């Protein structure tokens, strides 16, 4: 029986401009101006992230799903929804 693949995502730093996300050996900046859903989130909400597949991240307390590629290349993924006031 094959083993289970376990992917671990970790938030390594949060600043007023965004947060850094460690995915394996890659660290990505998630800027609040490009990902406004996180701007009003608490530290606990931001740091509770799962990485179920290589290109899928999920924040359960915020109900946010993101493609890893959208963080790497946000210009390829235009913002289609706005954060609620």
Helix, strand, or coil (residue 74):
helix
Question: Does the predicted TM-score (pTM) go above 0.85?
Answer: no
Question: Is residue 36 one of the residues assigned to a domain?
Answer: yes
Q: Domain containing 27: what range?
A: 9-76
What are 10-19's contacts with CB under 8 Å, separation 24+?
11/46, 11/47, 11/49, 14/43, 14/46, 14/47, 19/46
CATH of the domain at 55: 3.30.2020
3-state secondary structure of 72: helix
Tokens of 2: 């094959």
Max Cα distance, the chain (Å): 49
The pLDDT tens digits for 9-51 are 999 999 999 999 999 999 999 999 999 999 999 999 999 999 9
Asked, for residue 53, whether it belongs to a domain, the answer is yes
Residue 17 lies in a domain: yes
Instruction: Specify if 72 maps to a domain.
Output: yes
């Amino acid at each position: 029986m094959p083993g289970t693949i376990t992917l671990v995502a970790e938030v390594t730093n949060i600043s007023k401009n965004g947060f850094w996300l460690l995915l394996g050996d890659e660290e990505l900046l998630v800027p609040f101006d490009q990902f406004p859903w996180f701007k009003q989130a608490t530290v606990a909400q931001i740091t509770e992230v799962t990485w179920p597949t290589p290109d899928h991240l999920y924040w359960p307390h915020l109900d946010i799903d993101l493609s890893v590629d959208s963080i790497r290349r946000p210009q390829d993924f235009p913002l289609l929804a706005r954060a609620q006031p």
